[in-house]
A and B are shown apart, each in its own frame.
Chain A
């Protein structure tokens, strides 16, 4: 007996062409669908044969005659179901359409088979039924009800089954499409998770320019000879920075004062590299020192200020780091004195305003974390360079 397995197989196969994707080719799907109906036919034929009503060959032929039309019709029904899905919004028009299609199809099938049903009985004369059934049968089909009645009765008799088959196909197609959709959703969710992890890793790498790391190590290689104590300090500072960066994955948010001490260490290294041309001034409102900020939010801004505002200048420059409360928000600002007076300045602000990888990353992180509740703005600073201003929701730890 055909279990549920062939049904799902066949229906799944049949639903594929309408979706236009999936594991099986259209030919395979049609073949599977055909096989399904052949199995159904065989099952019914066996039943009839086993009851001893007909010889095997006749039973098979009759059964095939009954179920065969569905080999042609079920792909059509499945296709229709994909075109007319019965969803919460679509059922208003899809349901009447299905009712119409169902009626049309069933009429088509039954008219066609009724047209040759006489021929079928000629070819495979039904066995003499037991007396009681015989009488009922005769009453239904043979008694004088005019020429139309037997045809109509036979039509209705068989149409019940056809209508049921039609709606079963619709239901199975819906179920399988639903299952495929949920599988797809799961797959996409997994993909999004992977993308997120990847993005996090990229953030990490972008946070620290490799140039910074290797140049710092080269600086240490010199300091070892020149000033062993300074080399020692620098190794400690660098280790501290690496530790912080590596722990970001665990701690995505930190109190502002931690972020500031990270910046201080970072700048102490940069100061050695730039031979004291770098000064950093902090203006932090004590009320926001404990505010929660995304880890490493300031570092790319400071790095950007150093690369574009301090490094190209020949004279000393200053980076300003400011934090204050603005309404219900936390305002963070990193500004620099700019590279005015350097050869770079001739090129104007165009180069200065170029948004590096670090800044783009920070912008993306803020957008991902706070959506529309944050802002990120780049404009000329009062000190002659560039100022980056970030506004994020102010969150203080419960005291």
Chain B
């Protein structure tokens, strides 16, 4: 069986070069190309490649954000490509991942491919590449807030943008992402979601809810000092955490 391979790069000549080199390999089948991060996320979820050539530097979402988004569903064996040795390269080396510095020689390309073959020969693709999983979990590369969440919806995966989330509700071991388009269930703890969201745009209202600051309509005081946050969508959420901090954050957010 041939190795299903996906090429991701925002520059057409770079994709063409990889395809030319890969087409010469009898055991490789290029199943697609993606020209940006969003196309890459879609292609990875739809086509489940075993091998991924991923450009690190792309307009958002970049290569690492792509992996961060798909990590719960499918993590292919990944060979990173980059034009410049930046901080991410140190992380690749730390996690024993291969990367190609553009422009790479054919020899260097062959070495990377040989290593990938070796890895694919010993690992089951559906388990995902553990080295990539470790890289994505590495706070040194995955710092900064998450921009997209991947949620399963009737056998399909839907990308939910963090900016579209109005509020997040904790429900037992799950969280519910409330958006204008509907609600999505994600199997994760509220604290974990809170850590991944942009603290400048989201605020933890209580033990069981996080609100998008831009979705907040008003703060109401009811009865004996109890406060309720009213969202534009009409939802009313109790506020048990710092009122003053919330006020400051609402004022500072343009």
Contacts and interface: CB of A to CB of B under 8 A. Distances in A.
A14 to B, nearest CB: 54
A218 B106 CA distance: 12
A218 B14 CA distance: 7
A339 B60 CA distance: 12
Nearest to B11: A273
A215 B16 CA distance: 13
A346 B161 CA distance: 10
Contacts of A211: 57, 83-84
A353 to B, nearest CB: 12
B36 A343 contact: yes
A214 B12 contact: no
Contacts of A274: 11-12
B102 A217 contact: yes
B217 to A, nearest CB: 20
Contact of A222 (B14, B38, B60): B14
A274 B38 CA distance: 17
B199 to A, nearest CB: 16
A312 B37 CA distance: 10
Contacts of B84: 210-211, 214
B12 A275 contact: yes
Contacts of A343: 36-38, 60-61
B13 A272 contact: yes
Nearest to A275: B12
Interface in B10-58: 10-14, 16-17, 20, 35-38, 57
A210 B83 contact: yes
A221 B16 contact: no
Contact of B102 (A215, A272, A275, A344): A215
Interface residues of A, number: 29
B103 interface: yes
A210 B104 CA distance: 15
Interface in B142-172: 161, 163
Nearest to A226: B16
Interface string A286-327: 000000000000000000000100011010000000000000
Contacts of B37: 343
B60 to A, nearest CB: 6
B20 A225 contact: yes
A225 B20 CA distance: 9
Nearest to A339: B59
Nearest to B37: A343
Interface residues of B, number: 24
Contacts of B110: none
A342 B38 CA distance: 10
Contact of A215 (B20, B38, B60, B83): B83
Contacts of A132: none
B11 A214 contact: no
A314 B36 contact: yes
Interface in A234-283: 272-275
B101 interface: yes
A243 to B, nearest CB: 20
A235 to B, nearest CB: 12
A390 B17 CA distance: 39
A214 B59 contact: no
A219 B11 contact: yes
A382 interface: no
Contacts of B38: 343
A15 to B, nearest CB: 50
A328 to B, nearest CB: 37
A273 B103 CA distance: 14
A225 B102 CA distance: 17
B57 A222 contact: no
A226 B20 CA distance: 10
Nearest to B81: A218
Residue with the highest number of chain A CB atoms closer than 10 Å, among B13, B16, B36, B104: B13
A223 B59 contact: no
Contact of A214 (B20, B36, B103): B103
Given A214-B102, A217-B102, A218-B103, A223 B60 contact: no
Nearest to B35: A314
B11 A221 contact: no
Contact of A351 (B35, B60, B102): B60
Interface string B154-197: 00000001010000000000000000000000000000000000
B20 A347 contact: no
A226 B17 CA distance: 9
A227 to B, nearest CB: 10
B249 to A, nearest CB: 17
Contacts of B36: 312, 314, 343
A128 B12 CA distance: 111
Interface string A202-228: 000000001101110111111101100
A220 B13 CA distance: 8
Contacts of A312: 36, 59-60
A219 B20 contact: no
10 contacts: A210-B83, A214-B103, A221-B103, A222-B17, A223-B13, A273-B11, A273-B12, A312-B59, A312-B60, A342-B59
Interface of A: 210-211, 213-215, 217-223, 225-226, 272-275, 307, 311-312, 314, 339, 342-344, 346-347, 351
The 10 tightest CB contacts between A and B, nearest first, are: A222-B17, A312-B59, A214-B83, A218-B103, A218-B102, A219-B13, A275-B12, A217-B103, A222-B13, A215-B83
Given A210-B84, A344-B59, 10 more contacts: A210-B83, A211-B57, A215-B14, A218-B102, A219-B11, A222-B20, A226-B16, A272-B13, A314-B35, A343-B60
